[in-house]
Structure 1
């Protein structure tokens, strides 16, 4: 093994000294490097999106909700205690949820109003961290206060400390239209979240929401967080079967699961596409080795005359191809890691040059291109490239074994 590796290295050095390094060899090595770099950059971007989904969206929205099919939940304290007793449930908090309209002057917007306990929310959620200027500390019940999303605040032209009108629909049992209840509220804080959450979310204290809806101590339901967020569906369905009450369960995957599934689908497509690119680049090694075998016919014949076996000749040219794969893979890994490490900054500079942002914060849950390098991705890509290089080197190596030393030496 050592002899075949040393001989392969000598063959490569001999070609460089004689200036006969073929263009196709350089192209195949660079193709491997570019393919690996592109794959690492793409996978790092997908890792970044998954991280931001977990840290931004899933740290803000509840992982699941339990609520009755009709009406409100009256004995919610008992249900809350049941949920807290489950080892898979991290937190369980009551909430009140209803739709309404918010008005500022002549501007009007439909909103999803959520009533929650400000103090308990600080203990179990990172939602308070996204309120600008640390105004969550001032968010108290019975003070006519509201927190609205940044996108909604922009569309209504309202700022922190301003006043808005909240219009709440009033139900009627006689099928008669009733004017909505109108409440004046002060915007105590702006919630800086990207995507749809920033455009239609309004937060008010839980007790204020109960009073506005005249539901007494009842709540809409219980929102929970689980210890394994990506298995929330299975956990919540299992928990629902063990509750004393028959409640409807809803997980985050219903509203935001498409983001996670899209990320995983793109990751798989990227793996497939880039492995094909790397495979094509690696099989360029076949052309390189065929040329090398033809150039080294005399050397192969001399080695066979000196007693070299076909196995040794085969190993020499397999090493010849694998070395090209290793060089290309190392260049690709270094290039991919460096670019992926600075990907967010590179894209930010590019956006400033062209004056356009690729990700709109009103649509996507991030307004920048995130990136996170995983060592396992690098190892998998590197090993895959080496295996493809090894496979590509096998046919030319076998062809080198079939050279007839007598015929080659007689021709010189």
Structure 2
């Protein structure tokens, strides 16, 4: 094996004498490198999206909600106790939810208002971490305070510490249309989630929301967090069946599950693309080796006359192709890892040059391109590339064994 490897290295050094062999070899090596780098970058981007979905979305939105089909939930404490006794449920807290309008001067915007308990929210959610300037500590009941999303704050030109009017729809009779209830509130903080999640959301302390809606101690429903977020639908569905009261339920899979499914689907497509792209790049090695065999016919014939076996000749050209694949793979891995490591910064520079965001925050749950490198993905891409390089090297190596030394040497 040492002899075949050393001979293959000698042949590669001697390829410079043949410009065509050298050019095709460089092209095949660069093709492998570019293909591997592109796949590592793509897979790292998918890993980044999955990380942001888990850390940014699933850490701030409840994993599920239980609520009555009509009206409000009055015996929510009993339901809460039943839920917390379940093994798979981490937390169960009440919430109040309604749609309203926020007015600032002549500007008006619709918001989804959530009434939550500020103290309990700190214990079960990462939501307080996304309130700018650590203003969550000032978010307390009975002080006429509200937290609004960065998107609605920007559209209404509202800044931290400003005052806005919250318009709450009033229930009307068939013969009478009542004007909305108007409440003056101070914006104590801005919620910034870097995407569509904070575009049209407003937060109120739970007791303040109950007072504004005149529902007493009733709530809209119970927010639930589970120990396995990817099985939230099954866990919450089973928990709802075990309750004494008949309640409807929903989970994050109903509202954000398409994001997770899309990420997994794209990842599978990229693995398929990996085989195709690297395969095409690696099979450029076939043309390189075929020309190399043609170029080295005299050397092969001399080796055979010196006693080299067909097995040795085959190993020489297999090593020749594997080395080409190895060089291209290593260059691609290094290039892919470096670019993936700095992908968010690179895209930030590109966006500044273009003058607009590539990911629209009104559509996506984030407005930047995330990246996270997984060693497993890098190893899978590298090993696949080496296997395809080995396969691509087999036919030219076998063809080199069929060279007739007598015919080749007599022609010189």
- Report the TM-score when normalising by structure 1: 0.95
Distance 1:273 1:384 in 2: 12
2: CA distance, partners of 1:92 / 1:75: 14
Runs of 4+ with deviation above 4 angstroms: 17-21
Residue 251 of structure 2: aligned partner: 251
Q: Distance in 2 between matches of 1:241 and 1:388?
A: 52
1:312 aligns with 2:312: yes
- Per the TM alignment, residue 20 of structure 1 is displaced from its structure 2 partner at its CA by 7.0
Q: Is the 8 A contact 2:63 2:252 kept in 1?
A: yes
Give the Cα–Cα distance (whole angstroms) in 2 for the partners of residues 2 and 88 of structure 1: 59
1:22 aligned counterpart, secondary structure: helix
Render the CA deviation track for 1:2-57: whole Å, top value 9, x for unaligned. 33222222221233477775211110001000110111111111111211121111
Contact 2:147 2:204 (8 Å CA) reproduced: yes
Q: CA deviation at 1:58?
A: 1.3
Q: Which residue of 2 aligns with 1:112?
A: 112
- How much has 1:173 moved relative to structure 2? 5.3
Match of 1:275 in 2: 275
Give the aligned partner of residue 183 of structure 1: 183
Distance 1:248 1:307 in 2: 82
Aligned to 1:142: 142
Match of 1:388 in 2: 388
| Alignment map for 1:98-109 (pairs within 5 Å) | 98-109=98-109
Q: Which moved more, 1:267-276 or 1:293-302?
A: 267-276
Q: Deviations over 1:48-96 (max 9, x none)?
A: 1211121111111111111111111121112212222222222211101
Cα root mean square deviation, aligned: 1.8
Gaps of 5+ in 2: none
Contact 1:97/1:220 (8 A) holds in 2: yes
175 and 73 in structure 1: CA distance in 2 versus 1, 3 angstrom threshold: farther
With 53-62 and 263-272 compared, the bigger mean Cα shift is at: 263-272
Kindly indicate whether residue 326 of structure 2 is the aligned counterpart of residue 323 of structure 1. no
Q: CA deviation at 1:266?
A: 2.4
Aligned residues: 412
**What does the per-residue CA deviation read over 1:130-158, in whole Å, with 9 as the maximum and x for residues that have no partner?**
11111111111111111111111121222
1:38-77 equivalence runs, <5 A? 38-77=38-77
Q: Contact between 1:198 and 1:362, CA under 8 Å: does it hold in 2?
A: no
Task: Measure how far apart 1:307 and its partner are.
Answer: 3.0
Moved more, 3-12 or 98-107: 3-12
Q: Aligned to 1:330, what secondary structure does the other structure show? A: helix
2:194 equivalent to 1:225: no
Q: Distance in 2 between matches of 1:129 and 1:248?
A: 30
Secondary structure at the counterpart of residue 266 of structure 1: helix
Contact persistence 1:194–1:363 (CA under 8 A): no
Question: What stretches of structure 1 of length at least 5 have no aligned partner?
Answer: none
> Contact 2:16–2:22 at 8 Å: present in 1 too?
no
Between 187-196 and 266-275, the greater mean CA deviation after superposition: 266-275
In the alignment, which residue of structure 1 is the partner of 2:88?
A: 88
Pair 158,19 (structure 1): closer, same or farther in 2 beyond 3 Å: closer
Partner of 2:207 in structure 1?
207
Answer yes or no: is the 8 Å Cα contact 1:15–1:21 preserved in 2. Answer: yes
Partner SS for 2:199: helix
How far apart, in 1, do the equivalents of 2:239 and 2:392 lie? 53
The question of whether the paired residues in 1 share the 8 Å contact of 2:65 and 2:250 is answered with: yes
What is the alpha-carbon distance in structure 2 between the residues aligned to residue 120 and residue 175 of structure 1? 42
Looking at structure 2, the residues matched to 360 and 239 of structure 1 have their Cα atoms a distance apart, in angstroms, of: 37
Q: For the Cα contact (< 8 Å) 2:144–2:186, is it kept in 1?
A: yes
1:125 aligns with 125
For 1:23, the equivalent position in structure 2 comes to: 23
Name the structure 2 match of 1:154.
Answer: 154
Residue 240 of structure 1: aligned partner: 240
SS at match of 1:308: coil
Alignment correspondent of 2:344: 344
CA apart distance, 1:188: 1.3
| Alignment deviations for residues 299-335 of structure 1 (CA, whole Å, 9 cap, x no partner) | 2222223333222222221111111000100010011
Range with bigger deviation, 203-212 or 168-177? 168-177
Residues 270 and 363 of structure 1: is their aligned pair in 2 closer, same or farther, counting only changes over 3 Å? Answer: same
